[in-house]
């Protein structure tokens, strides 16, 4: 009689693992960029640049006052 071979599920396990990893990466990437849609980054950048500009102009006026202009 012929012996019955056991079914090898290695490729099924590998395929399911790859699909799960791809799905996880897509979900995490979507969650990672969620904060960019709220506009919080733009408001923080605007605030930072305004403070830098204010500091820059105050430094220039102090330098002009020191040089006697």
* pLDDT (tens place) for every residue of the chain, 69 residues total: 567 777 889 999 999 999 999 999 999 988 877 766 677 778 888 899 999 988 877 766 555 555 555
Q: What is the pLDDT of residue 18?
A: 98
Q: What is the pLDDT of residue 27?
A: 92
CA torsion angle 26 32 36 41 (round to 10): -160
- Cβ atoms of residues 9 and 15 within 8 Å: no
Q: What is the pLDDT of residue 58?
A: 72
Q: What is the pLDDT of residue 59?
A: 64
Task: Name the pTM for this structure.
Answer: 0.45
Q: What are the two backbone dihedrals, phi and then psi, of residue 48, each rounded to the nearest 5 degrees?
A: -65, -45
Residue 34: in which H helix or E strand, if any? helix 34-37
For tokens 């699909």, what's the residue? 19
């Amino acid at each position: 009689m012929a012996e019955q071979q056991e079914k090898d599920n290695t490729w099924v396990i590998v395929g399911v693992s790859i699909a799960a990893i791809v799905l996880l990466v897509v979900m995490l990437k979507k969650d990672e960029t969620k904060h960019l849609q709220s506009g919080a980054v733009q408001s923080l950048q605007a605030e930072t640049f305004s403070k830098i500009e204010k500091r820059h102009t105050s430094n220039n006026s102090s330098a002009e006052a020191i040089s006697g202009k």
